[in-house]
Each structure stands twice: as structure tokens, then as C-alpha cells.
Structure 1
Amino acid sequence: MNFIDRTGPELGALDPDTVIVLPLGSIEQHGPHLPVSTDLTVASSVASAAVEAAEVETLLLPALSYTKSDEHAWSPGTIWVSWDTLMRTLVDIGRSLATTPARRLVLLNAHGGNSALAAVACRELRREFGLQTFLAHPGLSAPPDERGLGIHGGHSETSIMLHLRPDLVKMEHARRWVPEHLADYEHIGFGKPVSFGWLSSDFNSDGVLGDASTATAAHGKELFETAVGTIASVLGEAQRFRPS
């Protein structure tokens, strides 16, 4: 299951259709109620369980902890790398993987700030090294009452952390951080036709978007199990995917 537990000769004999999974997390502020390891915990936990559940040959790489989190650079505890550092790191990892026969790589990303760059990296790795690349996300659905604004430290992330690492969650500091007025813009916003540049400190001094006060471990368990099932299915599709 773990790439790094195999020997060099074993990795040199991999089937070309082996699916290699690289989780992308982050070390960044998640408000006063969640640890800076939240995205890393989600990415690693979902990836590990999905690889275990997958019905195809799949190998798990160690997660990348330090990624592009500069929207949270204002906060103590955020450790981030520049876009070009992360891009070069992903390209170098792909170059290294290309020394094995395996040609299928899934980036499982749990930090939204990585998404655009990871998509560019997928194409770069496809072009440079002939890898068949895929970008997947855990897909933690947010409740309607967050009005499409529960993107960071809100109900879903808090719930899944209550399931995975309840010892690290400080629910006494959880509250509703939803900038309601943003939902009234027709074109500009998260998930809308027009995106905008932002820092998490633009919205409130805690840098959170969402309603953490409603989070529950039970819902976190549901979110986790759904994410694992979906990603396990994705790994199966990635193994048999043929563009033509």
C-alpha cells in the first residue's frame, strides 16, 4: 500500500497501470478552533483509507505538508511555499516517479489554494513525462445555510476533524463566520462565474469562512466515509482510464 515501504527493485517492476496517490495538504491557520494540520489530516486520512479500499493496485506516497497557503500568510502558524516552489516540487516528484514503470498519478488535494496550480502541474507532468495525471478532491459538501461560503474552517471541515481528531478541536471557540453579503452578488464569488483574489483576513479577523458552531462528529463520519468511497471509486476509474 505505501510506496516508501517497497524496495527499489520492487518499484522498478510495477505494472504500468499501478495508480500512485500523492495527498496534498497544508499547514495553515484554520481559526481559533481547528489545528493548522487540518488539511493535512484530511488529505492523509482520506487517501490512506481510499487506497486501502480500492480494488486496483494502488500505492500511497507520503503527503506534501507545506504547500501554497499564502492567503493565510498573515497568521502565525501558517507555513507556506511559493507557487513556483510547489510547482517545481510537483514536477520533480513526477520526474522521479517516471523512473518506475507506473504511469498513473492521482493528486488528492484537500487545500483549495493548491487547486489551480495542481491542475497546471497535471498537464505539465503529462507533457514532460508521459504520466496520466488526475486531480481529485475529498469533496466535503457544505450545508445550504452557509450560503456557498463554507470554504474554510466551517461546518464540514470542523465536523470531519471532530471525527478524525476530536482531541485537536476546540469547539468552545467555534462560531458562525459567514460573510452573508457576499452571497448577494450574482456573478462574483466562490463557485460563481467570476472569481476574485482574496486573503482569509479580508473576511474577519479569525480568517474563517463558514459555520463551525453546527459541526458534529456524526456528520464528520458521514463526510469521511463518503469521501473515502468516492476516492476509492476514482482510483478504479483512474486505473482503467483511456483518453482514446
Structure 2
Amino acid sequence: MNFVDRTAPELAALDPDTVIVLPLGSIEQHGPHLPVSTDLTVASAVASAAVPLARTQGADALLLPPLAYTKSDEHAWSPGTIWVSWDTLMRTLVDIGRSIATTPARRLLLLNAHGGNSALGQVACRELRREFGLRTFLAHPSMPGSSSSASELGLGIHGGHSETSIMLHLRPDLVHLEHARRWVPEPLAGYEHIGFGKPVSFGWLSSDFNADGVLGDASTATAEYGEQLFERAVGTMASVIGEAQRFSPR
């Protein structure tokens, strides 16, 4: 299951349709209630469960170690955030793709749990397709705001209901629920065109919204809901891996 547990001759014999899965996390502030490892924890856990599930469903997939340090400069204002520049991450992804291309495997899936990586991940996918002929894919365990509670007004994108719930399921020992509260930037809900998930995006830092840099309602989080989200994400990602193995645009 793990790419790094195979020998070089074994990797040299991979099938071209083997899907190599690279989890992308981050080390960044998630408010006073969640650890800076939140995105890394989610990416690693989902990928580590989805790859073996996909294999039981007939997919040929191997898991790479996750990238912990990625593009988190929207949280650069906060102690504990460790981030790399966009060009450093871009070169890292291209270099990893170049290395994968020395094997026969021609399918690389980026499983990304940090929204700040999304735009760059799309650019990297096209670059890797053009430079090395890899079939590349960018997948997210969930889209920002897609698991928001009603109290979040669709704005629960960082440290809110869903992320706190998933961490209560995966690592309850790291969650300080006594510090969880509702951090919802309600003025954003009043704009028709500009906002998260709307036609017009905008540049932002997490400190633009409140001093804690959280967007969402962590006070409503539960481990039970986190388990539901996690199991759904694992099942979806296993299915995505299967599709990525057989994907052809024509």
C-alpha cells in the first residue's frame, strides 16, 4: 500500500495505471481550540483509509508520505503557522511528479485537505500533465463550506463545525472544546457575487475576519458528526481513486 515500502525494482515494475496518492496537509493556526496539525491530520487519515479501501475495490493504488509544509500564507500572521511560498510548493510538486515519472506509473492524485493549496494544485496538475505526461488529479475530502452547520451561513471554512467535528473523531486529545465558539463573518452573507463559493473570489487573510482567524461555528461540533464526515470522505476518496485509475478523456 505504501510507495516507500516498495523496493526500487518493484517500483520499476508498476503498472502504468497505478494511482499514486499524495496527501497535502498544512501546519497552520486553527484558532484556540484546534492544533496546527489539523489539515495534516485530516489529509493523512483520509488517505491512509481510502487507499486500502480502494485496493479492496479493485483499484491499484499506492500511498506517498504526506506533505506537511504547504502554502498557508493566509495564516502567516499567527505563531505556529509554518508555510512555504507558492513557488516553493509549485517546484516541490513538479519535482515529485518528475520523480514519479521515472517509474512506469502515470497517474498522480493530490488529496488536498487545505484550501490554500487548491488553486496552486490545479496549476501543478496541468504542469505535470504537460511536462511529464502524467494523468493528474486534485481531490478534496470535502469542499469548503459543504459540511457547514445552519448557524455558519455556508461560511464554515476554517476551524468551524466540520473540522472541529472531524478532529473530535480523529484526535479528541488535541481538541480544546472549552475554547470553541461561533466565529462566523456574517457580513459576507450579504454579498450576492463576492464571497466563498460565489462567482467572485477575493484576496484575504484569516485575521481579516476576527482576532482568532477562525471562520465557522466550532461550538456545535460533535465527534459523532465527525465520524460521519470522515467515513463519507473515505468512501468518496476510494471511489475517486478507482475513477482516476480508469479515467480517459476520450
- TM > 0.5 fold call: yes
Question: Segments of 4+ in structure 1 off by > 4 A?
Answer: none
Number of equivalences: 244
Q: Distance between the aligned counterparts of 1:58 and 1:72, measured in 2?
A: 33
Q: Distance between the aligned counterparts of 1:147 and 1:68, measured in 2?
A: 26
- Could you tell which deviates more after superposition, 87-96 or 51-60? 51-60
Gap regions ≥5 residues in structure 2: none
1:239 offset after TM fit, Å?
0.5
Q: RMSD of the alignment, in Å?
A: 0.6
Aligned counterpart for 2:177 among listed residues 141, 163, 171: 171
- What code does the residue aligned with 1:95 have? R
- Could you tell which deviates more after superposition, 131-140 or 6-15? 131-140
- 2:139 counterpart of 1:136: yes
Q: Name the counterpart of 2:39.
A: 39
| Alignment check: 8 A CA contact 2:149 2:217 kept | no
1:145 offset after TM fit, Å?
2.3
Q: Distance between the aligned counterparts of 1:7 and 1:187, measured in 2?
A: 52
Gap regions ≥5 residues in structure 1: none
What does 1:204-243 align with in structure 2 at a 5 Å threshold? 204-243=210-249
1:68 offset after TM fit, Å?
0.2
- What code does the residue aligned with 1:31 have? G
| Alignment check: 8 A CA contact 2:188 2:195 kept | yes
Q: Distance between the aligned counterparts of 2:82 and 2:184, measured in 1?
A: 25
Aligned counterpart for 2:73 among listed residues 70, 87, 103: 70
- What code does the residue aligned with 1:241 have? F
Aligned counterpart for 1:85 among listed residues 84, 88, 94: 88
Q: Distance between the aligned counterparts of 1:115 and 1:226, measured in 2?
A: 20
Deviation per CA, 1:150-172: give whole Å up to 9, x if none: 00000000000000000000000
Q: Name the counterpart of 2:208.
A: 202
Q: Distance between the aligned counterparts of 1:70 and 1:50, measured in 2?
A: 29
- What code does the residue aligned with 2:216 have? G
Q: Name the counterpart of 2:127.
A: 124
- What code does the residue aligned with 2:37 have? S
Q: Name the counterpart of 1:146.
A: 152
Aligned counterpart for 1:112 among listed residues 110, 115, 139: 115
Corresponding residue SS for 1:213: helix
Q: Name the counterpart of 1:58.
A: 61
Scaled by the length of structure 1, the TM-score of the pair is 0.99
Q: Distance between the aligned counterparts of 1:148 and 1:162, measured in 2?
A: 21
- 2:165 counterpart of 1:162: no
Q: Distance between the aligned counterparts of 1:144 and 1:177, measured in 2?
A: 13
| Alignment check: 8 A CA contact 2:25 2:43 kept | yes
1:243 offset after TM fit, Å?
1.0
Q: Distance between the aligned counterparts of 1:219 and 1:115, measured in 2?
A: 25
Q: Distance between the aligned counterparts of 2:198 and 2:188, measured in 1?
A: 11
Q: Distance between the aligned counterparts of 2:193 and 2:246, measured in 1?
A: 38
1:144 offset after TM fit, Å?
2.9
Deviation per CA, 1:55-89: give whole Å up to 9, x if none: 21110000000000000000000000000000000
- What code does the residue aligned with 1:174 have? A
| Alignment check: 8 A CA contact 2:157 2:216 kept | yes
- 2:35 counterpart of 1:25: no
Corresponding residue SS for 2:31: coil
Scaled by the length of structure 2, the TM-score of the pair is 0.97
- 2:102 counterpart of 1:99: yes
